[in-house]
Amino acid sequence: NAGVTQTPKFQVLKTGQSMTLQCAQDMNHEYMSWYRQDPGMGLRLIHYSVGAGITDQGEVPNGYNVSRSTTEDFPLRLLSAAPSQTSVYFCASSYLARGVEQYFGPGTRLTVT
């Protein structure tokens, strides 16, 4: 199993550009989520999904969209990139929505200039 994969590993955007961060898992996990990690801030939840077709907002959803058309994939879209979105983004998945280990992807380091 590849586990949780993310692409790209690094990305530089100009302010106002849009892009999609890809996340995929091959563990048949129902629950998937996106976190951003900033220095001294820990990990903060952006959006999550409890299954295909179901998504919801986390703590810091503004400026981001998600969709879940399949169990395997959970892309994160930046609509109009801003310097405040410079961060490391982690996708995570688990077989239940609660009380179990979250498996994290390797992360995407995004810089917005």
Partner 1 sequence: GENVEQHPSTLSVQEGDSAVIKCTYSDSASNYFPWYKQELGKRPQLIIDIRSNVGEKKDQRIAVTLNKTAKHFSLHITETQPEDSAVYFCAAPNSGGGADGLTFGKGTHLIIQP
Q: Which residues bind partner 1 (CB under 8 A)?
A: 33, 35, 40-45, 48, 50, 56, 58-59, 90, 97-99, 101-102, 104-107
Residue 77: CB atoms within 10 Å? 14
CB of 13 or CB of 34, closer to partner 1: 34
CB of 13 or CB of 32, closer to partner 1: 32
CB of 5 or CB of 80, closer to partner 1: 5
